[in-house]
Amino acid sequence: MKKPIVVGILIVAVILGVIVYSSLNLARYRVEVCVAYNGLSNCRTASGETEDNAMRSAKSNACAAIASGVTGTIGCEGATPTRVTWLKK
């Protein structure tokens, strides 16, 4: 085989390897967070490499469904969660 073909095949193999590795959900922490804001409540699950990242992502996702605008989002994300359930720690 010609050298450019071999290099192309290797590049494609590396890219596929990265895609497969990243899709295996290797996050160390998984949490479900429930929040209540302005009379509404919502729960969301998220994963992360650290406890803080997982918690922040779940809380942000839960607030996205019940808060609108910058002020509402900041207020919701600043509220204390009503429930936190660690699914993977």
Least confident of 9-13, 17-21, 71-75, 83-87: 17-21
Kindly report the number of other CB atoms within 10 A of residue 46's CB atom.
21
Q: Amino acid letter at 82?
A: T
Query: Is the per-residue pLDDT at 1 higher than 80?
Result: no
pLDDT band at 25 (very low <50, low <70, confident <90, very high): low
Report if pTM > 0.95: no
Distance linking the first and last C-alpha atoms of the chain: 48
Question: What residue ranges do the domains of the chain occupy?
Answer: 26-88
pLDDT mean across residues, the chain = 90
Over residues 75-87, the pLDDT tens digits come to 999 999 999 999 9
Q: Per-residue pLDDT tens for 57-69?
A: 999 999 999 999 9
